[in-house]
Structure 1
Amino acid sequence: MSIKIIPFKPAYAPIFKELNQNWIEQYFTVEPKDLYLLENCQEHIIDKGGYIFFAKKEDTITGCFALLPVSNTTFELGKMAVSTEFQGLKIGQKLLSFAIEFAKEKSWETLILYSSTKLDNALHIYKKFGFKEVPLEKNLDYTRSDIKMQLTL
């Protein structure tokens, strides 16, 4: 199975929104910050110095993730989703591996992410790739976030 990782194109914005809403609704509730980022990802992620990438199998977008700037050397990995019909094919791991390599190429120092301890599989994969749990701030944008992880590059 050949998976290509491709950059954001405005035509893919609705797919980015759909992939993310689907996984969030499967486990949680879509929150105001989700809608803010997903309703206009070009304006709220790309135009603010962030990145969005997609996994593509033949002509089908199968997954996505975003990198949101925290500082010049720290980015947040977020909005990672894989379509339910393509789960179990290690697409999430391919996306994560690409994100880490991309961050290294940009000479960033740190990737952070926020997740939920309900997502055992995701946490296992993050740990496998070297992310370590770090203290969680108070007053986060998402009520579902109960764990913060960091990867020093």
Structure 2
Amino acid sequence: MAIEIIPFHEKYAQRFKELNTSWLKKYFYVEEKDTVLLDNSKAVIIDTGGYIFFAKYNTAIVGCFSFIKIDDTHYELGKMAVDSNFQGLGIGQELLRFALDFSKKQGWHKITLYSSTKLPHALYLYKKYGFVEIDLEKDLPYARSDIKMELLLHKTKSK
């Protein structure tokens, strides 16, 4: 399988929206925060210090994810999607492996994510790569979120 992970380019902004809107409509609905992130991905994610990457399979863009900046060493992993026609090929795992390698090279300390127990395959994948469940805050960014997970990457040195 020839999957290439490539960085954001504006010509793929619409594909980012399509990939995410597809799974959101399949399992939930598109929330206001989704609309803001997906309609303005460059301004809201990239221009504020975040990242978007795509999985390219042959010539097709078949998957994506984003890192939304929380602070210099803490990012939220979000908007991870794989085209339903290409699921089961390990593309989600490739995206997640790339995401973790990228975040470690950046020297980040922590990645958090929000998900739903209605997505057992996604939760299995996150747990497989070391994410652990943590307490949810009261004012959640997404109505569909009923689980929050984090992965500690680099432990800060104690004094």
TM range (shorter): over 0.9
User: How far off is 1:139 after superposition?
Assistant: 1.2
Matches within 5 A, 1:61-80: 61-80=61-80
Residue aligning to 1:122: 122
Distance 2:40 2:71 in 1: 21
Distance 2:105 2:33 in 1: 29
With structure 1 as the length reference, what TM-score do the two structures score? Answer: 0.99
Q: Which is worse superposed, 10-19 or 134-143?
A: 134-143
Distance 1:39 1:127 in 2: 30
Distance 1:60 1:77 in 2: 23
Residue aligning to 1:134: 134
Residue aligning to 2:19: 19
Residue ranges of structure 2 left out of the alignment (5+ in a row): 154-159
Q: Secondary structure of 1:45's partner?
A: helix
User: How far off is 1:58 after superposition?
Assistant: 1.0
Matches within 5 A, 1:1-153: 1-153=1-153
Paired-residue identity, %: 58
Q: Which stretches of structure 1, 4 residues or more, deviate above 2 A after TM superposition?
A: none
With structure 2 as the length reference, what TM-score do the two structures score? Answer: 0.95
Q: Secondary structure of 1:48's partner?
A: coil
> What's the C-alpha RMSD, in Å, of the aligned pairs?
0.4
In structure 2, what residue type is equivalent to 1:114?
Y
